């Protein structure tokens, strides 16, 4: 089952972090501890129109127990233009408003390592990395934090990060220095240091391309994507058949396999809907998938035996999936 238990949360504080980013604190409607979480986790906020949006949880404290059964959750939400409804709704919230959200889930955790951890944030992508900095600081684990934005005024949670990491923070403002040199940073990293990257799609795509060019081992680059996938010109409709039941579904251009199955009352496992968590992965029995995920390796994509049904499509008129 993909459905998670819902939490009723009340807005207790709204604070303008930057001209476009608001910090929103949420507490349980009934005075009780909230589910615990670790750095990289998110909750899904349920929107009035029935959709949902994922927002990373922010921990600004180096107290090792700060995210263990906390009394509140903190989010950072950027007002997007254009918005699909989520950021407009979140920016309309005021103290006293009640929302519904899922319990925390984590597709972007810190992996165990004895190496210094490198954190690279671009814009609103800073939210999960603040929590990583706090967790690493609580452990006394060495880290370096690179934070890039259009201007210094657009860098949310900056005083918090400065307090957590001190002189291990490098700030980059595009209006002063141009776009951040992702490839240059990655080329400079030595001794298999892991990199955690979160930011706009061009930044993540460049990090993925650079990791391949530099021959990084699988798993050294960690990233999380906030941007929803966009339809591509030339996308065609195709048929999906479920192996277990023999049911057939028409997948039109502009809709994912996952969305069609959910609308039909099916319950496929899923979470991110962006192709970066791997939870909706299924086996391909027949047909050739058109891979658009960020999970599978090049060899797995070439084999064509697995696919992520939240974003990937079909190169053939028909796919049979092991569902």
pLDDT at 132 over 60: yes
Looking at domain 117-224, does it have CATH number 3.40.50.80? yes
Confidence band of 84 (pLDDT split at 50, 70, 90): low
Edge-to-edge strands, sheet with 238-242: 248-251, 238-242, 318-321, 281-286, 306-308
Rounded distance between C-alpha atoms, residue 55 and residue 45, angstroms: 7
Backbone angles phi, psi at 257, to 5 degrees: -55, -45
Architecture of domain 6-106: Beta Barrel (2.40)
Structure tokens of 8? Answer: 């009723």
Residues whose CB is less than 8 angstroms from the CB of residue 51 and which lie 6 or more positions away in sequence, other chains included: 85, 86
Rounded distance between C-alpha atoms, residue 56 and residue 77, angstroms: 9
Structure tokens of 119? Answer: 């954190």
**Is pTM beyond 0.75 here?**
yes
Residue 89, CB-side half-sphere exposure with 13 Å CA sphere: 18
Confidence band of 1 (pLDDT split at 50, 70, 90): very low
- Per-residue pLDDT of 291-301, as tens digits, reads 999 889 889 99
Structure tokens of 80? Answer: 């997007």
Residue pair 104/181 in contact (Cβ under 8 Å)? The answer is no
- Per-residue pLDDT of 48-60, as tens digits, reads 988 899 999 999 9
Task: State the average pLDDT over residues 305-316.
Answer: 96
Rounded distance between C-alpha atoms, residue 78 and residue 20, angstroms: 5
Task: State the average pLDDT over residues 75-95.
Answer: 90
Strand-pair partners of 318: 239
Decide: helix, strand or coil at residue 174: helix
Rounded distance between C-alpha atoms, residue 54 and residue 223, angstroms: 15
- The larger pLDDT score, comparing residue 229 to residue 49, is at 49
Percent of the chain scoring above 70 in pLDDT: 98
In the chain, which residue ranges form alpha helices assigned H by DSSP?
Answer: 86-92, 126-139, 158-165, 174-177, 182-188, 201-214, 257-263, 298-303
Sign of CA dihedral 274, 276, 279, 283: positive
Q: Could you state, in order of their start, the residue ranges of all structural domains in the chain?
A: 6-106, 117-224, 238-321
The superfamily in CATH containing domain 238-321 is Beta-grasp domain (3.10.20.30)
- Per-residue pLDDT of 156-189, as tens digits, reads 999 999 999 999 999 999 999 999 999 999 999 9
Residue pair 128/38 in contact (Cβ under 8 Å)? The answer is no
Residue with tokens 């671009």: 122
Q: What is the pLDDT of residue 196?
A: 98
**Going by DSSP bridges, is the β-strand pair 98-102/73-78 parallel, antiparallel, or unpaired?**
unpaired
Rounded distance between C-alpha atoms, residue 99 and residue 106, angstroms: 20
Q: What is the pLDDT of residue 176?
A: 96
By CB atoms closer than 10 A (0-12, 13-18, 19+), residue 219 is exposed
Based on its alpha-carbon atoms, the radius of gyration of the chain, rounded to whole angstroms, reads 20
Q: What is the pLDDT of residue 232?
A: 87
pLDDT, averaged across the chain: 94
């Amino acid at each position: 089952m993909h459905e998670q238990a819902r939490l009723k949360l009340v807005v207790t504080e709204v604070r303008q972090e930057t001209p476009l980013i608001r910090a929103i604190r949420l507490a349980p409607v009934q005075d009780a501890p909230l589910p615990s979480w670790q750095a990289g986790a998110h909750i899904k906020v349920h929107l009035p129109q029935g959709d949902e949006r994922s927002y990373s949880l922010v921990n600004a404290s180096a107290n090792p127990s700060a995210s263990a059964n906390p009394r509140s959750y903190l989010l950072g939400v950027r007002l997007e233009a254009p918005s699909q409804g989520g950021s407009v709704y979140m920016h309309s919230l005021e103290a006293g408003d009640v929302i519904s959200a899922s319990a925390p889930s984590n597709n972007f955790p810190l992996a165990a390592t004895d190496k210094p951890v490198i954190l690279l944030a671009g814009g609103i992508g800073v939210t999960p990395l603040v929590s990583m900095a706090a967790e690493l600081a609580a452990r006394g684990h060495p880290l370096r934090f690179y934070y890039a934005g259009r201007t210094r005024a657009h860098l949310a949670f900056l005083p918090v990060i400065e307090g957590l990491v001190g002189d291990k923070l490098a700030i980059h403002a595009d209006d002063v220095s141009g776009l951040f040199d992702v490839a240059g940073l990655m080329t400079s990293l030595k001794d298999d240091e892991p990199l955690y990257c979160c930011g706009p799609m061009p930044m993540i795509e460049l990090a993925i391309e650079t990791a391949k060019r530099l021959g990084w081992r699988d798993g050294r680059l960690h990233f999380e994507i906030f941007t929803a996938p966009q339809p591509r010109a030339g996308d065609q409709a195709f048929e999906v058949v479920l192996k277990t039941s023999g049911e057939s579904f028409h997948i039109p251009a502009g809709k994912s396999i996952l969305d069609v199955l959910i609308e039909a009352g099916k319950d496929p496992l899923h979470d991110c809907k962006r192709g970066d968590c791997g939870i909706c992965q299924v086996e391909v029995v027949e047909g050739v998938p058109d891979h658009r995920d960020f999970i599978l390796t090049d060899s797995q994509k070439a084999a064509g035996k697995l696919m992520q049904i939240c974003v990937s499509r079909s190169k053939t008129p028909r796919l049979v999936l092991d569902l």
